[in-house]
Structure 1
Amino acid sequence: MKIAFIINDHDTEKPNYTTPGLGYAAYKRGHDVYFIGVGELSYASKGHLSVRCKTISEKKFNSQETYFKAVQKEKFTRITSEDLDVLFLRNNPADEINERDWAQNAAFIFGEIAMRNGVIVLNHPNSLAGAVNKMYFQHFPEILRPKTIISRDHDEIKAFFKKQKQKMILKPLQGSGGTNVFMMDKKNEHNLNQTIDAIARDGYIIAQEYLTEASKGDTRLFLMNGEPLQVDGKYAIMQRVNSSDDIRSNIHAGGRPEAVKMTDKIMKLADIVRPKLVQDGMFLVGIDIVGDKLMEINVFSPGGLNVISEMYDADFCTPVIKAIEKKVYYKNMYSDYLFNSRLATL
């Protein structure tokens, strides 16, 4: 199998991230693995995807860190969609906001080209195009979601603030990783106008009810093919505990990962989101849970799989690669009969 991973940039991708872990798992299973930065995508005159990439072969490594550091030192080579079986879109568009705005939509736009060339593209690029901001989350059943409004109107947001007894979360519609996320209450109400203005510079504002359980952080669970990812009875799940003075629980925003047990409540939430994820061709997804509510669904590049693997002494990356191998097998068996959106979650 020839599999390529799209990342934001070779210089910013760290060797201990989830994507290098997935690449290393594929490499150990004998596959040809390529890494492509968003800026290395192009469209060839013959109508197919053409990219610069980095790859390595015929060497043994003791860890994903040594593997990916070796990949990063390699010179660029070129491949086309005609050479690939699978293209895995693992870049985070939110990381490009105000930095490289042109890069936000590039991966799924070029992913659509690769898909037309017969490459299996994960997650399904057409669905990713509709999920580039947090509005995608609002398409899931209301029972899952905290009370929310999305607006740029000061009066509407202030009215919601009062309705929530002067305690709410404000965050941008576009973005991830805990950037520009604020908890507003009576103590900082005098900064409400200023905070709304600051977030509104980048677009729409999400005003959301504050869940008291959020003080303990949130729970990140990985879903693969719409089902909780597990290995030998161990689930790919962790509690992300925020620091004492920060409401954000994202790991790279100061959150601390801890082991947590799967519960019937979490399983029920996962079951409710499954049908839409399957319908949309969302192969690998991270859902963030607080209490009995979903806070976010990360369909682009959910991170932490490497952390969870180490936490439970279990390899969660290899099952992901095995699932992709099966998709390649199905595609070869059925030729042009299976749409990418369906194949993505089989």
Structure 2
Amino acid sequence: MKLAFIINDICTEKDNYTTIRLARRAIGMGHEVVLVGIGNLIYESNESVAALVTRPSRTDYEDDTDLLADLQSDKVEKTRCNLSEMDVVLLRFDPADEINTRPWAPPSALLFAQLLANQGIIVLNDPTHLTDASNKTYFQTYPELVRPKTAIVHNAAEIKNVVERFGGKAVIKPLQGSGGQGVFIINRESSSNLNQMIEASLRDGYVIVQEYLPLAADGDLRLLTLNGKPLQVDGVYACFKRYNESGDGRSNISAGGKIKMAEPDDDALRLAEAVGPKLVRDGMYFTGLDIVGNKMMEINVDSPGGITMAEDLTGKDFSGAIIADLERKVRLKRYYGGKLSVTELAVM
């Protein structure tokens, strides 16, 4: 299987990223792997899509750190590759990382990905619906029962009005962003800093004002899904709890959060069941559900993370299960020729 990972840039990858774990597992299973920065895509005059790619120089790596060191080595030069000859292209870039430096890059990469999908390449997650999901308004298209009460505004006075309607407790965060950046917890104790929080949130555009869920103080649950269903290996879910002991209301690992093993409860599985049909319809092959109690805070569809942490906590080979599933999709595509669409294959 020929597998391409489209990422932000090889220089910004880290050894705890899901992408690096998936790439190493694919290499170990005998597949050809390339990594592509979103600024290195090329549309050829013959209508194929090419790229300047980074290739692993070996087929055996001790761990993720070993692989990343090889990929980021000064000795590794980018080579030209025809992506139109790939079997699978995984979209693993985070648009939020490009807001201030290359805002043009993520939407451009999605357009290239759509060209590849139109040529019959299996592109995951589905690039057309990822374009729709370019900011957090996408979450509002899922069933109301899974979502906290939410307002989206770009006006300081209106933000204050919404916070008051929510009883003086709320979470405010930028419409576009990830990793806990720009997220503020509003309560009576922090109200004296409300103006500064609002000003900081408004710098990047529209702001989400979300009702505060008291259980969020204990952390949240990250549940990974594959093909619209919770990812499991040997009956063990790819799931863990994220929490923060510092008093910071954000549980994101990048914001200083910690993790521990967790089993999804009935509420979490019910929420996953509720969003599953739309995940399937939209071709959202691999996602991360962030859950607090009986509500879902967010659905991560752009480069969702957590495989590395789930594997390290459980000892289960979730990355191997994903690569094996991709192998299955390539076989199905071959069996049926052009009769199955890319969106159908995405979650089949």
- TM-score range with shorter-chain normalisation? over 0.9
**Equivalence for 2:62:** 62
**Equivalence for 1:100:** 102
CA distance in 2, matches of 1:306, 1:155: 42
How far residue 245 of structure 1 moved from its aligned partner, in angstroms, is 2.1
Q: Deviations over 1:216-253 (max 9, x none)?
A: 11100000001111111111000001232211111111
Contact kept in structure 2, 1:81 and 1:117, CA below 8 Å? no
Contact kept in structure 1, 2:40 and 2:53, CA below 8 Å? yes
CA distance in 1, matches of 2:151, 2:56: 48
**Equivalence for 1:80:** 82
**Equivalence for 2:47:** 47
CA distance in 2, matches of 1:82, 1:184: 48
**Equivalence for 1:12:** 12
CA distance in 2, matches of 1:243, 1:309: 23
How far residue 57 of structure 1 moved from its aligned partner, in angstroms, is 5.3
CA distance in 1, matches of 2:106, 2:60: 35
Query: TM-score normalized by structure 1?
Result: 0.97
Comparing 104-113 with 200-209, greater Cα deviation is found at 104-113
**Equivalence for 2:167:** 165
Query: Kindly tell me: are residues 342 and 59 of structure 1, through their superposed partners in 2, closer, same or farther at Cα, counting changes over 3 Å?
Result: closer
Q: Percent identity?
A: 45
CA distance in 2, matches of 1:91, 1:285: 13
How far residue 339 of structure 1 moved from its aligned partner, in angstroms, is 1.2
Instruction: Write out aligned runs for 1:327-338 (5 A).
Output: 327-338=329-340
Contact kept in structure 2, 1:225 and 1:345, CA below 8 Å? yes
How far residue 118 of structure 1 moved from its aligned partner, in angstroms, is 2.1
How far residue 58 of structure 1 moved from its aligned partner, in angstroms, is 5.2
Contact kept in structure 2, 1:331 and 1:338, CA below 8 Å? yes
Comparing 163-172 with 182-191, greater Cα deviation is found at 182-191
Structure 2: which amino acid aligns with 1:314? Answer: K
Structure 2: which amino acid aligns with 1:64? Answer: D
CA distance in 2, matches of 1:162, 1:307: 38
Contact kept in structure 2, 1:172 and 1:206, CA below 8 Å? yes
What root-mean-square deviation, in Å, do the aligned CA atoms of Structure 1 and Structure 2 show?
1.3
Unaligned runs of at least 5 residues, structure 1: none
| DSSP 3-state at the match of 2:200 | helix
Contact kept in structure 2, 1:115 and 1:121, CA below 8 Å? yes
Structure 2: which amino acid aligns with 1:56? Answer: P
Structure 2: which amino acid aligns with 1:2? Answer: K
**Equivalence for 1:126:** 128
How far residue 139 of structure 1 moved from its aligned partner, in angstroms, is 0.4
Contact kept in structure 1, 2:224 and 2:306, CA below 8 Å? no
Unaligned runs of at least 5 residues, structure 2: none
Comparing 41-50 with 152-161, greater Cα deviation is found at 152-161
How far residue 25 of structure 1 moved from its aligned partner, in angstroms, is 1.1
| DSSP 3-state at the match of 1:40 | strand
CA distance in 1, matches of 2:239, 2:84: 37
Instruction: Write out aligned runs for 1:193-342 (5 A).
Output: 193-342=195-344
